[in-house]
Each structure stands twice: as structure tokens, then as C-alpha cells.
Structure 1
Amino acid sequence: MDEQHAATNKANWDNRAVLHAKSDSGYKVRQYLDDKTRLSNVVAFDVPGLGDIAAQRAIHLQCHIGTDTLSLARLGAKVCGLDFSAASVAAARSLVAQTGDDVAFVEADVYAARDVVDGHFDLVYTGIGALCWLPDMTRWATVVASLLSPGGRLFLREGHPILFAVDERIPDGPTLRFPYFNTSSKPMEWDEVDTYVESEEKLSATKSFQWNHGLGEIITSLLLAGLVIEGLEEHDSVPWEAMPGMMEKRELDEWGLKEHGGCMPLSFTLIARKPAS
């Protein structure tokens, strides 16, 4: 990612963080203060795949304002959250200072994670909407492998790359328009005033750059980094209204297609492990 892309995306996420941390935003941060056992819907969806993570040392890459991060801590893990947005880290630290959850947060680019945290982790967690902000999967996978202890695992749930290839602005069902394969040196460029959750305010830093990564690219990068793929599950839902007007809300604020259910995957979960020796 060149300096222009990085600076533009950082400004965009600093702006989003301020909006998302407000109590009336779609993140509903107040609920984590009112209910000290509350898990984010994203992590609640992930619990069956995560299993028992009590006492595990975990790092949450691209943690944003920390709602998923503190949820991992509420499952018993010792968690560090990392994000490149200063505003996101500030909001995350403010949130856990109020909730009392024992979570540390570090401000850094994900590619520099190995340089800013000590030791190794039993769990590297990466959640929805993270990989599209990274241009280089091979470099990312190398960082993930470097963070894991022998026997440690990566837990990744992400929007499906086929979903990111759909133009939701075209009516009458899902329509492919954007690249599935990350074969161009140029990212997709966006200019949008709305963020992806409910917010009474508009973005002022409206521009951003994104890269789509196909499943083959993601899996191959992890294999090249020496990890073993243990599971890959595709889901027919995603935790935001990715195609407005075409979707219906389900439990845990997951969204699925109304008229075209089952025609395409909307998210996926991938689990990979670093060999014990």
C-alpha cells in the first residue's frame, strides 16, 4: 500500500471511528456498559467455531473500536487489539476503561504487528471487513504466522470475495461488476458519504481504497506461510445489509438474501493452524 492509499484509508477510518463510537450508532456501544456479559453479534456468531478460548493469549488484528475485542476477552481470552487508526484505538481504550474489560490496544499498521507486540499468541482473530483494506495477502499471512505460537491458530471470518464483486446499486438481484481476482496493481477507489452502519452523521473523509482477494489467494498465502488449513465454511449471511432492499435481517443482526437465498455465499469462516513443531 503506497503512502497515498494508506493516508486516505487512515483518514477514512479515523472519521468512521468517531461516528461508530457514538451511543446512537449501529455499534450500540452503550450495551457493553449496561450488560457486562454482552458479546458482539459477530463474536456470538463465531463462538461455535472459536470453541473454548479461556486463558488463551489472543491478538485481534484490525480491531476498530474494540467491541469484538472485548467480546473475546469476555470469553476468557487475554486479548490485545491492534488497529492503524488512532481514533479507533482511542475509542476502544475509552470503551474498555468504562466497561472494565482487561484488554490492551496497540496503534499500528497490521503489517507492522510483529514489530509492536511481544511474544506469541494462541489465537490470531480477524473479523468481518478487514482483508479488503490490505493489498498484499502473502505479506499479511507471513505476519499472521509470525504472531502465532506453535500449535496456535488463525480464526478468520470475512465477507465473501464474491460478495465484494457484486454491485449492490444495481437492482433486480445480485449483479457481478467488480473484480474477484486481485490481479491489478490499482485498488478499487470509493467516494461515499455513508458508513456501513446506522449513523446520524455523514462521513467527511469520504474517499477510500480497497482490494478484493479471492479464496484461492487467501488460502494459498496461508499455505505458503506454513500454516495448515483446518476448516473452511461458507455462510449465506453477513453481519451488515450489504445489498439494501434485497436482504432480510436474521438472528444476531445477520443479513441474508430475500429472493435469491442460496445463490451465493455472503461470508466465510477459515481456520488455520501453525504446526506444533
Structure 2
Amino acid sequence: MDEHTQVNLANWESRVPIHATSTAYGLQRFVDHPRHLSGVVAWDAPHLGDLRGKRVVHVQCHIGTDTLSLARLGAEVTGVDFSPAALEVARDLSERAGPHVRYVHAAVDEIPAALPETFDLVYTGVGAINWLPSIARWARIVAGLLAPGGRLYLREGHPMLGTIDDERDDDLLVVTYPYFETEEPSEWVSEVTYTGDDARLESPVAREWAHGLAETVQAVLDAGLTLTRLEEHTELEWQFLDGMVPTGDGRWALSHGRERLPLMFTLEAVKPG
């Protein structure tokens, strides 16, 4: 495991106990309500189609709320993550709330060795690919996970959003950070995690990489997949800027001039069969 991955693993391990008790993830809701879905999967569900009996792998699954939600849509789900602490929480949630989810401990680069089988759907939730240094390598791994006719579903923060200075106290959208993939990551230090809880992280350093939209699309094409959908969104799963306002469906948007900046994108692609 290289230094960057070690730093990020320590960061995510320190987030797990906070996320496991945070109202933002709301693990108890899954236990109390057998049909409850995460907000992320509920938003994606109309595009995912009928998952009953489908073999689904959720890459970078964290503590498993989205993973369990996919299983509740009828899929046979495998979750993969590099954090042992996250997988411990995810397994416990699956046992307490059901249905069963298989979890595999592996970093993304280790997936080909850890998962030799193929799947009908590869699902990647919001806030995943920014932790990976090479979008081309990620796309090849994803393509290898898919059976002929299988589908990739990726919804992610828009790379243009990642360029914006989020510490300004005015309404200006100022491009400050990289848009294109760089060899070295950007390093961030934050004492708290994104859930809004006050608890301090024991490992506050994180390293992330940008991946331009065209870079991501081309990586998917070069990996042999056929693009079937590409959509940009004016909503986001979290409040990135202080001036963002809630949309009423659990997401956030610019308070005005929403046409100025894409906040998320969805990409779907199929492996030719």
C-alpha cells in the first residue's frame, strides 16, 4: 500500500466511529424500517431499473448504507472497501437490519485479485473516484468486474465543482483547484468529517485527485465500455458552499444562478455482450 493510500486509510478509519453514530447516516433507521433506503440509492433507484436477482458489486462501499439499500431493491450485493473498521460496521448493519450483503476487504487496485467473478452492475456512490490517482486504471478494473451486457452506474461530484474555492464568504464562484488529473494529489486537512458532527478526527489529513469529465468518459470508453448516459445535475448530496440552500429532497443547490455550475454528474455505460 503506497503512502497516499495509507494516509487516506487512516483518515477513513478515523471517520468510521463518527459516521456509525451520526444522524446523517442514520443506521438505526435501517434497523427500524425494513424498507428504508439511503437517500443516495433512493435518488438513483428509478435509473437502476429492476435489480431483483441481479449480481451487484458496490465499490468503495464505506459503512454499507447504500450497499444494504441496493440489496433491499432485490439485488445479490457484494460490497468492497479498504477500511476494516467500515466493513465491520457494514456487516453488523446487514446482520441487524437485513437482507444479507457479502463484504470483501480490498482497495480498488486489489479488486481483480479479491473478486475473480463478474457482475451485472457495478455501482459507485458519490464521493468515490476523487480518492483514486488514476481514472484510467479504475475504469479498467470496473470493466473487468462486468459480465458481458453488464452495466456501470456512476454518480459523482462534478469535477468542475471540485475546482471552486469553498472558503470564500461571497457569492463568487472562483476556480482555484485542479480540474484535470495530476500525478500528485491535493492534500486537505480537516479536523471534522462531512456529516456535521463535532467529533474530531484522529487522522485529519486526506489526499485527493481531480478527474476531468472528459478524462472520465474517455477512460470508460478506452476500457471497452459503451456509454449509454451522461447527465449533469444542479443538485448535490452535501452543502459544499455556505451559500447553498436545501432543495427539499435532502440535497443542496446554489441559492441562485444554478445554471452557472454543475454540481454532480451521472454516467452509465455497458459492457458489450
Please give the range of the TM-score, normalised by the shorter of the 2 chains.
Answer: over 0.9
Over aligned residue pairs, what C-alpha RMSD do you find?
1.1
> Within 5 A, what are the aligned runs for 1:232-251?
232-243=230-241, 245-251=242-248
What residue is the counterpart of 1:57 in the other structure? 55
Question: SS of 1:92's equivalent?
Answer: helix
What residue is the counterpart of 1:266 in the other structure? 263
Greater Cα shift, 95-104 or 65-74: 95-104
Letter in 2 for 1:177: T
Offset of 1:101 from its aligned partner? 1.6
> Within 5 A, what are the aligned runs for 1:130-169?
130-169=128-167
What residue is the counterpart of 1:178 in the other structure? 177
Residues 190, 208 of structure 1: 8 Å contact kept: yes
Offset of 1:171 from its aligned partner? 2.1
Distance of 1:50 and 1:63 partners within structure 2: 17
What residue is the counterpart of 1:31 in the other structure? 29
> Within 5 A, what are the aligned runs for 1:100-115?
100-115=98-113
Distance of 1:166 and 1:29 partners within structure 2: 32
What residue is the counterpart of 2:13 in the other structure? 14
Distance of 1:101 and 1:16 partners within structure 2: 25
What residue is the counterpart of 2:125 in the other structure? 127
Offset of 1:25 from its aligned partner? 3.7
> Within 5 A, what are the aligned runs for 1:75-94?
75-94=73-92
Gaps of at least 5 residues in structure 2 are: none
Q: 2:94 aligns with which of 92, 96, 106?
A: 96
Distance of 1:229 and 1:75 partners within structure 2: 24
TM-score (norm 1): 0.96
C-alpha change, 1:30 and 1:200, in structure 2 (3 Å) is farther
Gaps of at least 5 residues in structure 1 are: none
TM-score (norm 2): 0.97
Map Cα deviations across residues 192-245 of structure 1 (whole Å, 9 max, x no partner). Answer: 1111112231111000100010011101111111000000010001111111x2
Offset of 1:100 from its aligned partner? 2.2
Question: SS of 1:252's equivalent?
Answer: coil
* Percent identical: 44
Map Cα deviations across residues 19-64 of structure 1 (whole Å, 9 max, x no partner). Answer: 1011x34211111111110000001111121111111000000000
- In the comparison of the two structures, how many residue pairs are matched? 272
